[in-house]
């Protein structure tokens, strides 16, 4: 719950975590924000979608529409593999990028290399995305370290199921897979979505600077992207991974749902990769990988 504290003439707008981006706001403004949050943030009215929930971008330039110059992106599970490649692509498009990793400390050097190569800010942060509070705190840290805004969040972190049939695998492993591959996406979407809602309502970053001022970049809408898997759509063979498949399928329905709920201030989409040669499959026997290649048209 948000709360207020301060003198009679001015208040500081805080969240439950008492985050550092809070700034002085007049009491009248607090009431205005409360009215907007109470009445206008819901995309539905009377069971139907409100008209003009979104507006088209003003720019007609494709290069401008695809540019991420001056924006801030967070990519989870970006110490290697798909996440690292996405982080580099975002940096190449002009974004400042926060790389989140869990155990791969090579991410620290990778971030330095990206920063030098593309001339953007890039920094690595150790993270545990299996609980909500650490996710929220780390986002706040990134905003404080970077430019006070969040534009893009790529929820890419994930782990495989490694214990064979669900009948014999441990419940502890199941819980870890679900917490990492599904629960974390909810946590990241919620924490990022709350930032985007505030940015859209107030028109300013966490330091109180209005978007677009002094040559700055406007904030149109946030973009949330979650990495799922082809395993969300099919049952892979020969490996047995019921929990992984269920988690990834859950991510698709979750993100479809939050896309509706965040429609006024953010987009939400998923990507379902097939077999890709990354570190996450290092444990898989070569014989199994040969079977995978035999079921992949491009080999």
Instruction: Say which of 244, 256, 281, 289 is annotated catalytic.
Output: 244
Q: Do the bridges between strand 72-75 and strand 96-101 make them parallel or antiparallel, or are there none, so unpaired?
A: parallel
C-alpha 33/C-alpha 47 separation (Å) is 24
Q: Do 142 and 98 form a contact (C-beta atoms < 8 A)?
A: yes
Instruction: Say which of 184, 223, 229, 231 is annotated catalytic.
Output: 229
Is 275 a residue of the active site?
A: no
Residue 50 DSSP code: P
Please, what sign has the CA dihedral across residues 251, 254, 258, 259? Answer: positive
C-alpha 236/C-alpha 256 separation (Å) is 23
Is 229 a residue of the active site?
A: yes
Residue with tokens 């439950």, as numbered in its chain: 16
Instruction: Say which of 123, 200, 220, 248 is annotated catalytic.
Output: 248
Is 12 a residue of the active site?
A: no
**Within 13 Å, how many C-alpha atoms sit on residue 64's CB side?**
8
Residues whose CB is less than 8 angstroms from the CB of residue 227 and which lie 6 or more positions away in sequence, other chains included: 77, 82, 83, 154, 155, 156, 158, 270, 271, 273
Residues whose CB is less than 8 angstroms from the CB of residue 99 and which lie 6 or more positions away in sequence, other chains included: 75, 78, 79, 83, 84, 87, 107, 110, 111, 114, 122, 123, 124, 125
C-alpha 273/C-alpha 230 separation (Å) is 6
| Other Cβ atoms within 10 Å of 28 Cβ, number | 8
Catalytic residues, by residue number, are 229, 244, 248
């Amino acid at each position: 719950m948000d709360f207020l504290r301060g003198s009679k003439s001015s208040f500081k707008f805080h969240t439950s975590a008492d985050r550092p981006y809070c700034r002085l706001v007049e009491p009248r403004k607090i009431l205005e924000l409360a009215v907007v949050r109470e009445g206008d943030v819901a995309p539905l009215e009377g069971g139907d979608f409100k008209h003009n929930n979104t507006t088209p971008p003003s720019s007609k330039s494709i290069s401008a529409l695809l540019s991420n110059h001056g924006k801030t992106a967070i990519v989870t599970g970006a110490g290697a593999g798909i996440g690292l490649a996405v982080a580099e692509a975002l940096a190449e498009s002009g974004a400042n990028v926060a790389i989140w990793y869990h155990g791969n400390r090579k991410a620290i050097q990778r971030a330095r290399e990206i920063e030098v190569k593309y001339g953007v800010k890039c920094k690595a942060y150790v993270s545990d995305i299996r609980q909500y509070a650490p996710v929220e705190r780390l986002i706040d840290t990134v905003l404080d370290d970077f430019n006070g805004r969040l534009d893009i969040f790529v929820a890419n972190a994930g782990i495989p199921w490694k214990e064979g049939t669900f009948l014999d695998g441990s419940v502890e492993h199941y819980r870890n897979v679900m917490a990492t591959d599904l629960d974390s996406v909810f946590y990241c979407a919620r924490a990022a979505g709350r930032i985007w809602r505030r940015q859209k309502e107030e028109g300013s970053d966490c330091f109180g600077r209005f978007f677009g001022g002094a040559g700055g970049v406007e904030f149109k809408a946030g973009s949330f992207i979650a990495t799922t898997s082809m395993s969300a759509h099919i049952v892979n063979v020969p490996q047995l991974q019921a929990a992984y498949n269920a988690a990834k399928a859950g991510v698709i329905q979750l993100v479809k749902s939050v896309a509706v709920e965040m429609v006024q201030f953010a987009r939400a989409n998923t990507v379902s990769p097939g077999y890709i040669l990354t570190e996450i499959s290092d444990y898989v026997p070569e014989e199994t990988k040969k079977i995978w290649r035999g079921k992949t048209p491009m080999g």
